[in-house]
Amino acid sequence: MTLEYQNFADFCSNLSYPKIELFREIRKKLDVSMVTLERWARLDSQTKNNEALDVLSQVTGIEPENLFKRHE
């Protein structure tokens, strides 16, 4: 069964393993701080960097244009 997440915040809140492990993986690929990832996960900030959007999309399965889209 595949779940569809609306955005990065949904994905992070539904992780079945520790979020810290996912964040470590993303940090290695993008060289961003843990604080940045936490802000992205809460949708307090977002990136427009194409490389970051591509990596987040690959990890989450969410289309880049939907990663930081708020629920309507």
Q: What is the 3-state secondary structure (H, E, C) of 13-66?
A: HCCCCCHHHHHHHHHHHHCCCHHHHHHHHCCCCCCCCHHHHHHHHHHHCCCHHH
pLDDT along the chain (72 residues), means of 10: 77 84 91 93 94 95 93 71
State residue 3's pLDDT score.
58
- Are 7 and 70 in contact by the 8 Å Cβ rule? The answer is yes
State residue 1's pLDDT score.
38
State residue 72's pLDDT score.
67
∠ Cα 32 18 41 (to 5°): 45
Comparing C-alpha atoms, which of 54, 51, 45, 55 is closest to residue 9?
A: 45
pTM: predicted TM-score of the whole model, two decimal places: 0.85
Residue ranges per structural domain of the chain? 18-64
